[in-house]
Structure 1
Amino acid sequence: MACSASGVCLCTWLGPGSLGNTASFSEGEGGALCLVQRPSRRRQRRRVQVAAERPGTAGRLTSLSPRQFLRRQQVLQLYRKILRAVREVPAEADRQYLKDWAREEFRRNKDATEEDTIRMMITQGNMQLQELQRTLKLAKS
């Protein structure tokens, strides 16, 4: 546990505990008082379920490398920008169509793992976003 030398430390223990959902106090490094909170069984089952849904994880949680983390942030940022731009579309039917299109494109490509492919898709998405923004700007004027 990452406890401080003094004071109260809130530590989270992620393994299954004998106390179930409850929290207990223990003495950490340097005599610090640590609150050890054990997750509920529902949360533990959800972690296993999420891990099992990911191909190739075989029941374990995967962590992202720094590069993958940054790519994920870029993808999420692009998705949010597209949805914000779609909100500015004046016609409700067109707005719904574009929203569904964006969701489907991102869902369809969610399992892409190759770095070059992901980078290419981000570039294409940014170009499509710029085109949508130009079209909206022309429609307003």
Structure 2
Amino acid sequence: MLFSATAVRRLVVGALGAGAVSGGMLVGALPSASAQPAPPPPNCTAADFSGVASGVSAASSAYLFTHPDVNTFLTGLHGMPHEQIRTEVANYLEMHPQVNAELRGIRQPLADIKHRCGFTPEDPDGPNFP
């Protein structure tokens, strides 16, 4: 099957035109692609946080089961206003420095990942909470 010169010209012009339109769309899309937020640092994904948090949770549970006095104290805070809980916990930890150190040690992996991944100290689960 032979094409006429006019048909070949139309085919070439159409291909070039389609390429130009596609290229223009690609170039137009590039600024929006670069405007997307940078990916998180390595090991700072939701899965990483979840894994660390579950480890901290399991260690906290084990600690409380093996320290019934601390478990009883923390359980007794249920239903209190948030600010009162903060005050009670701060006072308890000040009077029990060993418990304070042990709980901080348990929570340290969570504090570490939050620090490494750019969370601020104002984060409610950050390193400043027991």
TM-score when scaled to structure 2? 0.27
Rg larger in structure: 2
Higher relative contact order (CA 8 A, sep 6+): 2
Identify, as 1 or 2, the structure richer in strand: 1
TM-score when scaled to structure 1? 0.25
Identify, as 1 or 2, the structure richer in helix: 2
